[in-house]
Homo-oligomer: A and B are copies of this chain.
């Protein structure tokens, strides 16, 4: 395809705060043809477009990308080849089967393959956690599908506050790299994506040469702090201030948990400098911030527990690293996730028998 338009085609899946600002950034640059798979807000967006208030790009009363699709399936039947499939959903392997990433992207991977065998399909995961690429690698024959999986690590403050309404308050910072750092095609695709995405003076976007390092680094915060806030249902400053003598949260939870991440990363020859531990303790000490897992818990939504904590602990077990603090956080959060799974209809608990009767 690409006859009518020489621009590379990008489809963004996940029309929340992250995905919509992502699509906007790409459109703003104007170097790609941008589609968005929308799901729940499709009707309203089709009619009226998005109302966006963005700290990077200003006000939009009725914004639309080049194409909107109701579903990924619809997009896969459009006859379009998508050079980049950008996944901006949460990554929850223990969520509903239909929402798991390989399942979500499958129609597009297949339609790309059918439309233009041999052309490269780049899947960019703008998602938290470690080892998230492996699920994709396991699901698809990368050679057959000419598939590159790219890593996107993003810092952004952007929320869908109502159907079709986006409030973007924290500057978009995106790092993109190849999960296979030695794969030249993948590296090239990652660098190209940065060109499509970066708007000088607006957002930040840069190529990430060491994806795994960056992910372990971000896990310092997420595995230790994001998890804890979710368990106690408190913003970060309250967690810190409510500790014994205003110290125990930092000294007995956050720092030891992060040091366990440092130890696990070390067994992969990834060196996380000790100063990063302090950096991440301090980064939200004075910001009234509730991390994503805390917000999800509050909203009754499933948490990204497995990619943030389950996967690092698997690596720890394989590599013989002791993780008393992270393991406790995990085993406690597993119960919370169970409750969220129950609330979301993914498991059934029979109170008359006091037993789990069904798990999807």
Interface residues of A (CB under 8 A from B): 228, 231-234, 237-239, 241-244, 246, 248-249, 252-253, 285-288, 324-325, 327-329, 331-332, 334-339, 342, 349, 351, 353-356
A-B pairs with the 7 shortest C-beta distances? A242-B338, A237-B354, A328-B328, A241-B356, A232-B335, A324-B324, A286-B354
| 25 chain-A/chain-B pairs, Cβ below 8 angstroms | A228-B332, A231-B232, A231-B332, A232-B332, A232-B335, A232-B339, A233-B336, A233-B339, A234-B335, A234-B338, A237-B354, A238-B349, A241-B338, A242-B334, A242-B337, A242-B338, A243-B331, A243-B334, A244-B331, A246-B356, A248-B331, A252-B327, A253-B328, A286-B354, A332-B332
Inter-chain contact A349/B241, CB cutoff 8 Å:
yes
Residues in B whose Cβ lies below 8 Å from that of A351: 288
Q: Are A338 and B238 in contact (CB under 8 A)?
A: yes
Given A242-B337, A242-B338, 7 more A-B residue pairs with CB atoms under 8 Å apart are A228-B332, A237-B354, A238-B338, A238-B339, A241-B355, A242-B334, A242-B335
Smallest CB gap from A327: residue in B: B252
Q: Is the CB of B237 within 8 A of A355?
A: yes
Contacting residues, chain B, for A325 (C-beta < 8 A) = 324, 328
Report which residue of A239, A287, A338, A355 has the largest number of chain B beta carbons within 10 angstroms of its beta carbon: A338
Residues of B within 8 A of A239 (CB): 335
A232 vs B355: C-alpha distance when bound (angstroms) = 18
Docked CA distance A285–B351 (Å):
12
Contact A334:B286 (CB < 8 A) given known A253-B328, A328-B253, A354-B237: no
In the complex, how many angstroms separate the beta carbon of A64 from the nearest chain B beta carbon?
A: 37
A248: B residues at CB distance < 8 A: 331, 334
